Amino acid sequence: MKTYQRLTLIEREEISRYLILNYSCRQIAIILNRSTSTITREIQSCQTNRLKYRAVSAHRRSKQIALKSCKQHKLDKNKPLNEFVVNHLHLRWSPEQIAKRLKLLYPNDMEMHVSHETIYAYIYIHSRGILKRRMIKQLRQKHINRRKRNKERQKSYPIQDYISIDERPAEVQNRTIAGHWEGDLIIGPMHRSAIGTLVERKTRLTLIVKLLKKDSDSVCEAFAKEFNALPDKLKKSLTYDQGQEMAHHKKFTENTQIKVYFAHPHSPWKRGTNENTNMLIRDFLPKGTDFTKITKRKLKSIQDMLNDRPRKILDWHTPQEVFTKTIALES
């Protein structure tokens, strides 16, 4: 059976060179005779931005990780502790129960203390092959991979008390009246950043919103600030998907007087204008862009370029021209 070989420094230098030439991970994998997943993981583990990948620093980091993984684990060095943990895993004790019990039985013996996270790490990271499978079977939740237990992990809950897109009035669907919007987020790499996009259905006017965070409070506050700068007659409704960032839609409606309609799950075509606009924005901010490094000024510059671009759907008028004309007629 073919064993896995770590990437060499020469291979990493080749990866760096081909990334600069804008080769895809698949193309690089074929050239190096490696799997695509190996190249993808290598790039993602070092930098979220492809162009910032550096062979020497990536190789150094890989060696440090390899050395760290070779260090002897506490449960291997301490045989009595190891036996206690393994025996009680067989009894279907959870790692947390084992850790807490050890503190009760050996209050003054720090060598017999171990955290439940250390036990999980021993099971999922340190152990290999048959031993790993056997130990996982002793856990109540027999997950193949260790799940995150940090503050960044968020549970997803259904949006409460929402108004379905099916209840939108006819004027929204046929675009006869301005003031009805579609909204969405464009997410950055590793889901660590995002920007908001708002598009008026009739005029196609686009608003790009700088977001410091992508939680519901931050998104609703940022969207409300954008909308409250508009004339009241052009703030009628917002159609959104069922993303968690709009979980506080009631508070958003109170602050803006804009009714929020939610599209059906996994139905992006229900917000086709917004999806098309996001594609246009991606022309300026391609996938892999870290939005925390994009200034508000830059986003507004892109917004202005889109709003000043002639559109076939508008008989070659610009969204800004049509929107300005609509404001004049509404006044």
What is the per-residue pLDDT across 109-145, written as a single tens digit (0 to 9) for each? 988 998 888 888 777 765 555 455 565 556 655 555 5
Residue 253 lies in a domain: yes
Q: With b meaning 16 or more CB within 10 Å and e meaning fewer, what string describes 48-60?
A: eebeebebeebbe
User: What digits encode the pLDDT tens for the residues 270-284?
Assistant: 899 999 999 999 999
The CATH number of residue 297's host domain is 3.30.420.10
Residue 154 lies in a domain: no
The stretches of the chain forming alpha helices (DSSP H) are 9-20, 25-32, 36-46, 55-70, 74-77, 79-90, 95-105, 116-121, 129-137, 170-173, 216-227, 249-256, 272-282, 296-307, 319-330
Residue 146 lies in a domain: no
Highest mean pLDDT among 94-98, 135-139, 180-184, 263-267: 180-184
Judgement on whether residues 104 and 194 belong to the same structural domain of the protein? no
Binned at pLDDT 50, 70 and 90, residue 300 comes out as: very high
Residue 81 lies in a domain: yes
Residue whose pair of structure tokens reads 């509404």 in the numeric block: 330
Judgement on whether residues 292 and 321 belong to the same structural domain of the protein? yes
Give the domain extent around 241.
Answer: 164-330
Binned at pLDDT 50, 70 and 90, residue 22 comes out as: confident
Model-level pTM? 0.56
Percent of all residues in the chain with a pLDDT value above 70, rounded to a whole number: 84
Judgement on whether residues 126 and 193 belong to the same structural domain of the protein? no
Judgement on whether residues 267 and 120 belong to the same structural domain of the protein? no
pLDDT of residue 89: 82
237-240 β-sheet, strand order: 163-164, 259-262, 237-240, 180-187, 194-200, 206-210
Q: Tell me, what DSSP letter sits at residue 242?
A: S
State the total domains in the chain. Answer: 3
- Paired with 182 in beta bridges are 199, 239
Q: Report the length, in residues, of the chain.
A: 331
pLDDT of residue 151: 46
**Is the distance from CB of 197 to CB of 183 less than 8 angstroms?**
yes
Judgement on whether residues 62 and 131 belong to the same structural domain of the protein? no
